[in-house]
Structure 1
Amino acid sequence: MKLVKVQDLFEVKYGVNLDLNKLEEVSVNFPEAIPYVGRSEKQNGVTAFVEKINGVPPNPAMTISVAGGGSVMSSFLQEFPYYSGRDLFYLKPKIPMSKQVLLYYCTALTMNKFKFSYGRQVNRTLGELLIPDISEIPNEILNYSIDDSLGIRQFELLNNKVSSVGNLLAGINESNFKMLQDIFNMHNGLASSNVLVQPEKANEFLIPYVRPSKWQSTSYAGYVDIRTIPKNKVFPAGTLYVSTDGAGSHTYSYVSVEPFVPNSNVTVLIPKKDFSLEKKLAYATLITANRYKFSYGRKPKGNKLKVILLPDL
């Protein structure tokens, strides 16, 4: 994938930098109300609505707000002019970008969150971060309709699929629970001593080598050559897997987005009957919810993983 610097695609600007406690908070319906965007990761970053101040121009609409501190790298598309607080940047596209593309870059920027912390904030480094070049954006994103009825129908279809799983969960009682081993076949991953891990995807034969991680976006330990891997250790996109080690990583479960090879601290779960993608995602959430039962000294491996109780969806 071709990566470029943020500053290649966007002008990196520091926000208007106003203190909320010095502004007049108003109702969203107030005629002169304007959104106030802070360093929050909730509600699109909007923490209040305030009265517009004559002579203080807001940050422009259709820009991406990026939290430099607080909930660092929380990135949102702001469709209306807005005020902002301290340590908040905004990105103004250097080339025309649709709403779909801007939302894609919000996600790409937020995925850099793991690089920072409360003590290591985003400042002059924001423009140097690497994001996918605009030529790398999938056609599914470019062609996705947000505003017309096609987009609404796509949303309704997805919502119905997810709701059907939710309705099943709502009707579950204790008699409908089974052990994990009764629902899934378990497959162990491949030890790192048995593979040659490469840092980048240099050719088409390299696929991700997955390790335990709190975030799916950081679970790639590198890439391995599919031609050197036993076929029974290569799993397709849409496969459910669970982290079985690591103090901050154990029990987190995900559904793969591309073919991959798990390492020896990742267990792959293959359903014993056909599951929809929505059902796999539901089970990933349900398995992760068992995290409190384990620790670095009590890992969800072997029998401990097998006997986790799950609803039979």
Structure 2
Amino acid sequence: MANTDVSGQLATAGLAFGDLVKLTGQAVANTQTALNKTGADATSALATTLVDVIAVQELDYDDNGNVTGEKTFTQQLPLIDFIDPVIYQWTQVRLQGRFTASQFAATASTDTHSNTSTDSSGQAGFGIIFGGGYNNFQYDDSQTHIDTNFRVEDSVGLLRMNAVLEPRHDIGVPKPRQAIVGPQIEIDAGPIADVGNPATSRTMDAVITYRNAAGDPIAGKELAIDTQGVAWAFKGGTGTTDANGQVTITLTRQFVGDAPDRTPADFVVGVRKGIVGESTTLTF
């Protein structure tokens, strides 16, 4: 019986694929090193190139949250403050190998069979008129059988490679600062109280303070208030800031159902005056 074995070819293919992986890894590493150097050189060039720009822009607001003026401060700053260098990286490199190997084998066997048969006869004795005699018969038989066996083994292969090169998003340049001179809004949590036994609702006071740029309270101003998912009302019935620049609102959370969830919940409170705004999360 013919036998085939392509393990030798496959072992050689495995070694070749290992070398391919090794060389590909070296190529990726060398390319990444060159990309990093290019990015570093570009970053250095941007950092050492100075341009005249507005470093800080100051905006002034009045007590109503309206812009009353602005000031600009110019100076020479590095170009890197405005242009981000692009640093590339290999994010994915894949190799897929599928190999081909084949082997052919053939065997042949011959079987020969021969058969020979001989028969003989004779006559002799007294009174034979024609004298003695002798007869001889021979039979020959020969058979030959040839058996041939063929065996073929094949292995097919394919190699694929894909790679992704893209910019890195975790490297950036800080932007220039912007200074705002104007009123400030503060939102502070006040006392919490349950209404009813068992409680059917829960209230919380929120104190809103409105100050100017110097930190002094601004009185007599109406503020725009927005709450998400909870009702509110002015405490004391007034919606303008007092002499301390404050206005207090009461948030009311209703408990609905026979077995309501009374665990503390978060609610966002936002306050605006003109384009000046502030928001915070209150829990009660």
The higher radius of gyration belongs to 2
Structure with higher RCO (Cα < 8 A, 6+ apart):
2
The two structures share one fold, judged by TM-score above 0.5:
no
TM-score w.r.t. length of structure 1: 0.17
Normalized per residue, which structure has more helix?
1
Normalized per residue, which structure has more strand?
2
